[in-house]
Amino acid sequence: MIIYPDIEISKGRCVNLRKGRFEDPVIYDIDPQTAARNFEAKGAEWLHLVDLDCVFNDGNNRELVEAIIRDAKIPVQVAGGIRTLSQIEAWLEAGAARVVLGTVAVTDHALIHDACGLHPGKIAVSIDAKDGYAMVDGWHTKTAFTGLDLARNFEQCGVAAIIYTDIDLYQEAAESSMANTTEIAAELKIPLISSGTIRSLDDISRLHLLPNINGAVTGWALFNHEIDLKSAIAIGHQKQTRAEFI
């Protein structure tokens, strides 16, 4: 299981959105380029970069993200407000190993088909679900689609991976669990990357025991020093045995 350090960027700063609220970010006292170098030095195998300003149509951090990609010696996946084929291709030309599509994946299925056909292995889709239904526009708009239905559809389109965020679990809603993540992972043949589920090393251990969880995106726990990246990677690399699933 791959641990993807998550660097969320707004106005050139590393931030975290409290319960997804753009108007109330936690701002960290480290710049994104330094954070990326530190994660790579600690053994990160991938980086996950999100331009939050693009998500909320409030400018962009393209030059900064491009600089991180150029500097990195590990693959980088890029997310945040990517809505057109030309934007996808521009990021791939800039050196991104994978482009992550969010809202547009729900609203423009033709784009997913075209992008996957033109760039096999380079397109991932992010599904953010609340009460089982996919949310778009930065978690502000509820759709009529369940996370599982979308995941099955995207798999048929040929996406390389699904990044799944259970918003209820992320926001620590009452009675939330990893049940939705487990169900989607069990239904897919392509890799599932879990997001927003890690607050401790125990959470990584639990995810690691689930079938078909290829990775976990985590930012809050790393930036708040709740987990150590080297320890997280070590748990992710532990060999699974059949007995663990019995």
Of 6, 8, 40, 168, which one is the catalytic site residue?
8
Q: Where are the strands (E) in 37-190, listed by range?
A: 47-51, 76-79, 98-101, 123-130, 133-136, 141-146, 161-166
Q: How distant is the alpha carbon of residue 61 from its chain centre?
A: 18
* Cβ contacts of 213 within 8 Å, gap of 6 or more: 1, 181, 185, 192, 193, 194, 207
* 168 counts as catalytic: no
Distances (CA, A) of 18 to 11, 158, 190: 17, 33, 30
Decide: 184 and 153 in contact? Cβ < 8 Å. no
Type of residue at 7: I
Q: What is the DSSP-derived secondary structure letter of residue 129?
A: E
* 8 counts as catalytic: yes
Of 6, 53, 128, 166, which one is the catalytic site residue?
128
Catalytic residues: 8, 128
